């Protein structure tokens, strides 16, 4: 099962999850610094990313891991508040620029292509204080930050992700309030944030296109989280419709405006309008794009970056009056009892193939990058994660089928994650790393799991040894 020549094999991390050095060398606070320091058991055992993997001082150790695997690509994110402590270019932190310059230069020296995410959940606290993603002012702030990064690093970085998982951020941070700033706005905040996230992405893409592309010749997209949804009863029309809605509200909500026509899916607009009316709202809780905004948003991605972990069965469930993003979709999600489970991830490798085929058919056969996919290690005390590796292997078989049989234009796979790290509200209790990190040891030693050694063989062979 040799993958196409030139196929990219990578691994991903994110600044807040690995760097530590939360206030080192002039870095400003991010919303995750504030949120975790407030305590209140909103994160597992009140853990923080203050030190995390210590990558701010231990980058050389990360580089050793990258070289040990033989990665062709490494995806990491920039800490907005490490570069611009108050979120604006009014004060620029040179130490932050130096840190990321070193990472980029070291990767290129070692023949590894950097994929750089501008923003991975860690908004500068100074911007959150002005309304964060609920405020339209954030669009201009993000665009200025993006231009700053393109001008600083774009001579060497050719693959950019503007925003990581805007769909997850909008729901978790601004609808449910379980991510910072930690204030729920059920049924309204998620949509307002999503609206601004889409416009901010589009603005920054246009900035790249107008001012940097000609000289730098790079590509810009955003990383959308997507699971696969399968109707619980394949003979039930209401379950089939519910499964379509699940995909529309998760993936298409962001992908259709950006890749197709600048506007939300019809089913999303009609469903939220219907629920809003039922609940006595004078108009839909979903904001509208103007015609000018639609033109600005349409076509603002140079490749399709998707992040897949798991799938669910979906059943229709009527919602009478409850207000919330999840309630608007009118469905119930649950796993098949036969699916194996690791933490929150149910192992459904065939789901990724179905998702890739859906993207190919719906979005005009784009170049696709899988910028995250992975499984947590079931037993954190053991470096032998043979069972987890088996799930990776099954996933690679499905990717191979997607490329060979479905003719999906998949060019890159990035495992989440290079290292065990701070997994948001799960803290350090959930371990997705190819390398084990001992968070009790101040030196934060990185030791390869069995998966790391096996992944290195896949990369060396550009695929699996066995045939389909």
Catalytic residue among 19, 61, 128, 165: 165
Catalytic residue among 19, 61, 128, 372: 372
Based on its alpha-carbon atoms, the radius of gyration of the chain, rounded to whole angstroms, reads 21
The pLDDT tens digits for 95-131 are 999 999 999 999 999 999 999 999 999 999 999 999 9
270-304 burial: b if 16+ Cβ within 10 Å, else e: ebbeebbeebeeeebbbeebeeebbebbbebbbbb
**Residue whose token pair is 């998966």:** 451
Instruction: State the Cα–Cα distance between residues 301 and 312, nearest whole angstrom.
Output: 28
The neighbour count for residue 404, using CB atoms within 10 Å, is 13
The pLDDT tens digits for 9-37 are 999 999 999 999 999 999 999 999 999 99
| 165 a catalytic residue | yes
The pLDDT tens digits for 260-312 are 999 999 999 999 999 999 999 999 999 999 999 999 999 999 999 999 999 99
Residue 370 token pair = 């899988």
Q: What is the pLDDT of residue 468?
A: 63
| 293 a catalytic residue | no
Average per-residue pLDDT in the chain?
A: 97
The pLDDT tens digits for 349-397 are 999 999 999 999 999 999 999 999 999 998 888 999 999 999 999 999 9
The pLDDT tens digits for 224-237 are 999 999 999 999 99
pLDDT band at 407 (very low <50, low <70, confident <90, very high): very high
The pLDDT tens digits for 80-97 are 999 999 999 999 999 999
- CATH numbers and ranges of domains, the chain: 8-461 (3.20.20.80)
Q: What is the pLDDT of residue 333?
A: 97
Q: What is the pLDDT of residue 120?
A: 98
């Amino acid at each position: 099962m040799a993958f196409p020549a030139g196929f990219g094999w990578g691994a991903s991390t994110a600044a807040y999850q690995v760097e530590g050095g939360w206030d080192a060398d002039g870095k400003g606070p991010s919303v995750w610094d504030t949120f975790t320091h407030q305590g209140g058991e909103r994160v597992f055992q009140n853990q923080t990313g203050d030190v995390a993997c210590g990558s701010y001082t231990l980058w050389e150790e990360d580089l050793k891991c990258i070289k040990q695997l033989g990665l062709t690509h490494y995806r990491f994110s920039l800490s907005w508040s490490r570069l611009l402590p108050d979120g604006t270019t009014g004060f620029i932190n040179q130490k932050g620029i130096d840190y990321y310059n070193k990472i980029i230069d070291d990767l290129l020296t070692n023949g590894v292509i950097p994929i750089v995410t501008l923003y991975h959940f860690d908004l500068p606290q100074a911007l959150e204080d002005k309304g964060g993603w609920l405020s339209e002012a954030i669009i201009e702030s993000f665009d200025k930050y993006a231009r700053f990064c393109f001008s600083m690093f774009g001579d060497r970085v050719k693959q950019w992700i503007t925003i990581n998982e805007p769909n997850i951020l909008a729901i978790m941070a601004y609808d449910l309030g379980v991510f910072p700033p930690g204030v729920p706005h059920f049924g309204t905040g998620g949509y307002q944030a999503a609206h601004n996230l889409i416009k901010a992405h589009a603005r920054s893409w246009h900035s790249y296109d107008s001012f940097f592309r000609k000289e730098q010749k790079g590509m810009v997209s955003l990383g959308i989280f997507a699971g696969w949804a399968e109707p619980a009863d394949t003979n039930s029309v209401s379950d089939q419709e519910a499964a379509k809605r699940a995909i529309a509200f998760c993936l298409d909500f962001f992908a259709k405006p950006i890749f197709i026509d600048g506007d939300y899916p019809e089913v999303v607009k009609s469903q939220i309008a219907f629920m809003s009316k039922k609940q006595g709202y004078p108009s839909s809780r979903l904001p509208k794009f103007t015609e000018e905004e639609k033109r600005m948003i349409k076509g603002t991605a140079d490749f399709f970056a998707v992040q897949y972990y798991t799938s669910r069965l979906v059943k229709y469930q009527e919602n009478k009056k409850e207000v919330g993003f999840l309630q608007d979709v009118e469905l119930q999600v649950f796993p098949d009892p036969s699916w194996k489970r690791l933490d929150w991830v149910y192992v459904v490798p065939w789901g990724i193939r179905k998702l890739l085929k859906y993207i190919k058919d719906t979005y005009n056969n784009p170049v696709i990058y899988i910028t995250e996919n992975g499984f947590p290690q079931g037993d954190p005390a053991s470096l032998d994660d043979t069972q987890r590796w088996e799930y990776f292997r099954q996933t690679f078989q499905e990717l191979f089928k997607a490329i060979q049989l479905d003719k999906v234009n998949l060019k890159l796979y990035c495992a989440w994650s290079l290292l065990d790290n701070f997994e948001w509200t799960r803290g350090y209790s959930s371990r997705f790393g190819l390398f084990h990190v001992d968070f009790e040891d101040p030196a934060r030693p990185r030791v390869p799991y069995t998966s790391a050694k096996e992944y290195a063989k896949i990369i060396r062979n550009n695929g699996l040894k066995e045939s389909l």
